[in-house]
Structure 1
Amino acid sequence: MVEVKLQVLMFYQDDPKKCTAAKMVKFGLAQNIKKISNKGLVLDPFSDKTLMPKDKSLIRSIVGIDCSWNLADQAFSKKFDGIKRKLPPLLAGNPLNYSKLNKLTTAEALSASLFILGYKEQSLELLDKFKWGHTFYELNQNLLEEYLKLENEDQIDGILKDYGLL
């Protein structure tokens, strides 16, 4: 089975007991890094470009920036190397931000990006490490399947309208 390398750049701004990035590192699912490679896909909620299935050919790794949502604009104001992409809209499955649009944990964001890039098995394995992981998948299963078929960003609004999210 082909897997993509997951990496996290941690800012240590949240409760360490609830930090999904720390848990991924602990279980060997992601690597804690200090510097981002220029072939790394950086998940950036402020990016102008949305992650598309065709981005798979551009990347060697996926990087989650682990920071507090309250400080996200400050964290993402830093200049990161890599290929920056935002995720298409998804609902959080984690207990803290349950069903809020786009308030994902690092684990949810990495799992969603894996799914959209065609690494469905690795995406679901990652979610299995979290008690609420199945909830994220159940809330977003149909959206993720639709996003897996995206050919261009213009299609996203149609999908969101179909699901009553726009």
Structure 2
Amino acid sequence: MSESRAIPLELAVLMYRQDDPNKCTASRLVKFKMAKEVKRVPTTFLVLNPFAEKMVTPVDMKKFRGICAIDCSWKLATQVINTSRKFFNNRKLPALLAGNPTNYAKLGMLSTVEAISAALYILNYKEMSREILNKFKWGHTFLDLNSEILEDYSKAQGQDGIIAIEKDYFPHIFNS
């Protein structure tokens, strides 16, 4: 699949400003005009929500005009996402390792930029995925840690395909 489409994929972040502003990856994306800060999630956007039932799959590429990440503290994520607002078009990311210095190699503890980058990669916007990580010294680390699995996820056929790949790479999360 190619990244060239008539309408480019837009990036947005709904920011709760709960983390250290100097370490906030969403703020940096907004600062460099790579994402737009929004007060309301656009209805035509895929919403990255770690508590969603459905996962991001390559099939989603045709369904949405953009990606919106909810930027909040991991410590408060359950409260923020489950109680403050109702989000539509929710998708969670499949299992990945964090490459950021705070949560290095922790399963699923991605920063906002890592989450957006992963979604872009899975949706086959691979160049855009790499580009947004270039604004961070450690950005390449995320792709280095997850290069094979992201490539496999980007070729998956729907939810079942993603789950099968997760089971291959991370069998321990299914055996607990």
Aligned to 1:137: 143
Structure 2 partner of 1:28 = 33
8 Å CA contact 2:59, 2:158 repeated in 1: no
Runs of at least 5 residues in structure 2 that lack an aligned partner in the other structure: none
Normalising by the residue count of structure 2, what TM-score does the alignment of the two structures yield?
A: 0.90
Give the % identical residues: 51
1:101 equivalent in structure 2: 107
Q: Deviations over 1:21-64 (max 9, x none)?
A: 00000001000100111111100000000011001111111001
Q: Aligned match of 2:21 in 16, 25, 29? A: 16
CA RMSD of aligned residues (A): 1.3
Distance 1:102 1:81 in 2: 20
Stretches of structure 1 that go unaligned for 5 or more consecutive residues are: none
Indicate if the aligned counterparts of 1:36 and 1:80 stay in contact, CA closer than 8 A: no
4+ residue runs of structure 1 moved beyond 4 angstroms?
none
Alpha-carbon distance in 2 for matches of 1:58, 1:161: 26
TM-score when normalising by structure 1 = 0.95
Where do 1:1-166 residues align within 5 Å? 1-2=4-5, 3-77=8-82, 78-166=84-172
Amino acid at match of 1:55: D
- Measured in 1, the distance between the counterparts of 2:92 and 2:110 equals 12
Partner deviation per Cα, 1:98-117 (whole Å, 9 max, x = no partner):
00000000000000000100
The one-letter code of the counterpart of 2:101 is P
Alpha-carbon distance between aligned partners in 1 of 2:65 and 2:9, rounded to the nearest angstrom: 7
**What is the number of residues matched between the two proteins?**
166
What is the identity, as a one-letter code, of the residue corresponding to 1:25?
V
- CA deviations 1:107-135 (Å, max 9, x no partner) are 00000000100100000000111001000
Mapped partners of 1:25, 1:19: distance in 2: 10
What is the rounded CA distance, in whole Å, between the counterparts of 1:83 and 1:157 in structure 2?
A: 19
CA contact (8 A) 1:37 1:82 kept: no
> 1:43 touches 1:84 (CA, 8 Å); kept in 2?
yes
